[in-house]
Amino acid sequence: MRSPKSSGFWWARDDLGFVDGRLNFAGHDVAGLAAAVDGPLFLYSQARVMTNMGRVREGLAQTGQQFRLYYAMKANRFEPLLRALARSGLCGVDICSPNELDRALACGFAAADISFTGTGVSNRDLQRLLAHPELNINCDGIGMIRRVGEHTPGRDIGVRVNPALGVGYADNERLTYAGQHVTKFGIYREQWGEALATARAHGLTIRTLHFHVGCGYLDGQLADWEAAVAAGLAFLDDLPDVTTVNLGGGLGLPHRAGDVALDMARWAAILKRHLSGRNVTLAVEPGDYIVKDAGLLVLSVTNVEMKCDVVFASVDGGFNLAPEPAFYDLPCEPVACIPRTPDPETWRPVTIAGNINEALDIWAAEQPMPALAEGDRIALLNTGGYAAAMSSDHCMRGAFSERLLEA
């Protein structure tokens, strides 16, 4: 069997590759772990999460600014993972709903280490959020500023602005939160005066400037991201009381061969250029970058057959368990856990299909795969973020297991 290093698989790394012809992840035999459970299984590597966290912290340290790192738990809210992060003391947590707040508190994060940035926030939501005076709350509209002011006049708040420039994976518009098209997120320059006046009218002090301009940006998009950062920071001119600038998340990771990973030294240099001399704490709240490549979804092959001239392999989990490929056209990388035909030169195109009655329920079309048979296990890579967390019970096929690999 080829070693992972020489195999040429773009996704192989020290903790992910074939060992003696079997897929190994975080020091564990993936097929062996999957055999112990019935049905779809998510595996998460704590070590990989911590490595990713460390890379971001190193980048932040290189900026020379004081910094705060919040993990965006919307990406993955598995409790053992959240508890491990809280124990590590390496990050706070970014939340977007009152239920996320409850989970973050229950998993060991203090309110002062939690930052809320949500959308469509109701008065019911506000009642639960404002019960925690130490919670950082970023308002993403004028109405929210007003209602926070009505409930808790004189409070410190953050404001989410929309710099009208943004960036997303592969320039995908659905992953771009600020840009050419008007989005629901943040306060635009056009309404800025009214936003400031509303905060003033209720005695609110704006302590945080927040913007999140898109998801999944990679190295080749850093120039566009820098332009968005510069446009966002321009709002600081009107904010004398700001102590923290929160740049949101959005740091991306490779999804297919040819994707170039973010160079964190370049990323940090951009931030240094724009922030040096400003007396503010730099905050970021990545989700994907921390957890996505730290997770696999392991499925079983239920059937293999030709339809016309296409070989279909059906598996026991559909797009409802990891919706991003269907929602955002994100590439999906299926890997046979024990390739029956180890030499990739011999692999043939196979279309991997889920078990949901929807035409879009295709994990990967015409993907080179080894020979497959019923009962074989296939791991879908990069499913540690926005997979289980976004899953649904469509067709009542929403059941799955999750396991955190702690060592």
- Compare residues 178 and 378 and give the one whose CB is closer to ligand PLP: 178
Tell the smallest beta-carbon distance from residue 139 to ligand PLP (Å): 12
Tell the smallest beta-carbon distance from residue 403 to ligand PLP (Å): 22
Query: Residues 131 to 150: which contact ligand PLP by CB under 6 A?
Result: none
The region that residue 332 occupies, defined by phi over 0 for left and psi between -120 and 50 for alpha, beta otherwise, is beta
322 is an interface residue for ligand PLP by CB under 6 A? no
Tell the smallest beta-carbon distance from residue 104 to ligand PLP (Å): 14
The 8 Å CB, 24+ separation contacts for 125-131 are: 125/97, 125/98, 126/151, 127/151, 128/98, 128/101, 129/98, 129/101, 130/155
Binding ligand PLP by CB under 6 A: which of 41, 56, 75, 271?
75
Tell the smallest beta-carbon distance from residue 150 to ligand PLP (Å): 23
Alpha-carbon span 341 to 178, nearest angstrom: 46
- Compare residues 168 and 354 and give the one whose CB is closer to ligand PLP: 168
Binding ligand PLP by CB under 6 A: which of 49, 145, 215, 294?
215
- Site residue total, ligand PLP (CB under 6 A): 15
Alpha-carbon span 343 to 345, nearest angstrom: 5
Alpha-carbon span 232 to 177, nearest angstrom: 13
Tell the smallest beta-carbon distance from residue 131 to ligand PLP (Å): 21
Binding ligand PLP by CB under 6 A: which of 41, 72, 262, 380?
72
287 is an interface residue for ligand PLP by CB under 6 A? yes
Residue with tokens 């900026």: 63
Q: Which helix (H) or strand (E) segment is 327 a member of?
A: helix 324-328
Binding ligand PLP by CB under 6 A: which of 45, 46, 117, 382?
117
Contacting range for ligand PLP; rule: CB under 6 A; set: 2-10, 129-137, 287-295, 370-378: 287-295
The 8 Å CB, 24+ separation contacts for 133-141 are: 134/110, 135/101, 135/111, 136/112, 136/208, 136/244, 138/208, 138/210, 138/246, 140/185, 140/186, 140/187, 141/186, 141/187
Tell the smallest beta-carbon distance from residue 325 to ligand PLP (Å): 16
Query: Residues 228 to 257: which contact ligand PLP by CB under 6 A?
Result: 248-251
Asked if 312 and 353 touch (Cβ cutoff 8 Å), the reply is: yes
**Cα angle at 155 between 154 and 157, to 5 degrees?**
130
- Compare residues 323 and 339 and give the one whose CB is closer to ligand PLP: 323
Residue 149: how many other CB atoms lie within 10 Å: 20
**In the stretch 154-193, what mask flags binding to ligand PLP with x, by CB under 6 A?**
----------------------------------------
* Amino acid residing at 218: L
Contacting range for ligand PLP; rule: CB under 6 A; set: 7-15, 228-236, 286-294, 339-347: 286-294
Cα dist from 108 to 23, 72, 129, 171, 294, whole Å: 34, 15, 17, 37, 21
Beta bridge partners of 353: 314, 362
- Compare residues 49 and 251 and give the one whose CB is closer to ligand PLP: 251
114 is an interface residue for ligand PLP by CB under 6 A? no
Binding residues for ligand PLP (CB under 6 A): 72, 75, 94, 117, 212, 215, 248-251, 285-289
